[in-house]
Structure 1
Amino acid sequence: MSSLLAEFVNFTETLNRETIDYAICGGWAMAIHGLPRATVDIDLLILTEDLNEVWNIAQNLGYDVEGLPLHFHNGAIEIRRISKIDKESKRLFTLDFLLVTEPLEEVWKNRELIEWEDGKTWTVSREGLIRLKTISGREQDLLDIKKLREVENES
């Protein structure tokens, strides 16, 4: 039976092996930056020109439930979603690909290669994560920003 962590590690290792640029964002980035919280999906920032290749990799790993393209905040955030249902556990796993749009270019440029217990992964910087969450502005994002700033002030 697969877990969200196993899916995360498998997908990012595959992207690393295929030398595809990406940056983890969302709940996983919070955890990598030392602020773990519950999350139900895997969010990755990717270049628009890499979308087809990343999509094909996801499909080769069993992701076959395609979501409709999502657009938020006047196109500042564009998401392509693909999911799979684990055959054994019947659990849903979702990948959200956030495309690098003009408002996100600085977030992309400042991503970091971070080593953690399960390997190396490209991740948006702490400031990049704050920028993404500021654009999004959802309640959970505002709580995350507060935690990120608290940790920043403690340093």
Structure 2
Amino acid sequence: MAFRDYEEFIASLNANGVRYLIVGAHALAKHVRPRATEDLDIWIDRTEPNARKVLAALRQFYKGVDVSYPVEKFMDPENILRLGFRPRCIEVFTDLVSQLTFRQAWRNRVVGKLDSVNANFVGLEDLIQLKTDSGRPQDLVDVEKLNRALREVKKSEKRK
């Protein structure tokens, strides 16, 4: 899966009104700076109306091919949909190991660009929470960088 696929997938989500957030290394790149990654991580709101929109987006992304994926899978907190193969794949999560809910994170989202398309990114403080909660070694390294960025943001807000 090439980077162009990332853009096309996000464009399909946008066109179908899907409530999603980019998390993981691409969100890190939005707030701090890029680091190597093998995938694009997307967290979706696991409501039934949103799940139906995700299916419509998948059909659009696959140019109308029947996806044959039950809508219930997008409401199952244990489900992860993987499109493509590493080192270039898209992973769609219905839940993340965190105290943070999708609804909370959605309120704090940041709209930005993923290459040439508008995209919804998890906010800086919420990304810190998600990465802290995951506890993975790489995520804890990322948390240090994100906390530095957060301190800079707060300093600049005080100057205003």
**Is the structural similarity TM-score above 0.5?**
yes
Q: How does 1:1-155 map to 2 (within 5 A)?
A: 2-3=1-2, 5-49=3-47, 50-55=50-55, 57-58=57-58, 61-62=61-62, 78-84=78-84, 93-99=89-95, 103-104=100-101, 105-115=103-113, 117-155=115-153
**One-letter code aligned to 1:15:** L
| Alignment root-mean-square deviation, CA | 3.2
Residue type of the partner of 1:103? L
Residues 7-62 of structure 1 deviation map (CA, whole Å, 9 limit, x = unaligned): 22111111111111111110111112231011111111211122343245336534
Give the secondary structure class of the aligned counterpart of 2:84: strand
Distance 1:19 1:54 in 2: 9
Distance 1:129 1:44 in 2: 13
Choose between structure 1 and 2: higher helix proportion.
Answer: 2
Correspondence for 1:74? none
Per-residue CA distance 1:123-142 (angstroms, 9 max, x = gap): 10000100111111100110
Matched residues, percent identical?
A: 28
Structure 2 unmatched runs, 5+: 154-160
Counterpart Cα distance in 1 of 2:127 and 2:87: 28
Q: So what's the TM-score if we normalise by structure 1?
A: 0.73
Q: Partners in 1 of 2:32 and 2:12 — Cα distance?
A: 24
Q: TM-score scaled to structure 2, two decimals?
A: 0.71
Map Cα deviations across residues 96-136 of structure 1 (whole Å, 9 max, x no partner). Answer: 32437873232232112124652311110000100111111
Query: Which one has a larger percent strand, Structure 1 or Structure 2?
Result: 1
How many pairs are equivalent? 140
Distance change >3 Å, CA 46–CA 150, structure 1 → 2: same
Separation (CA, whole Å) in 1 of partners of 2:151 and 2:99: 29
Q: Which residues of structure 1 form unaligned runs of 5+?
A: 70-76
How many Å separate the matches in 1 of 2:144 and 2:87? 31
Flag as ranges the 4+ runs of structure 1 deviating above 6 A.
Answer: none
| Native 8 Å contact 1:45 1:108 kept in 2 | no
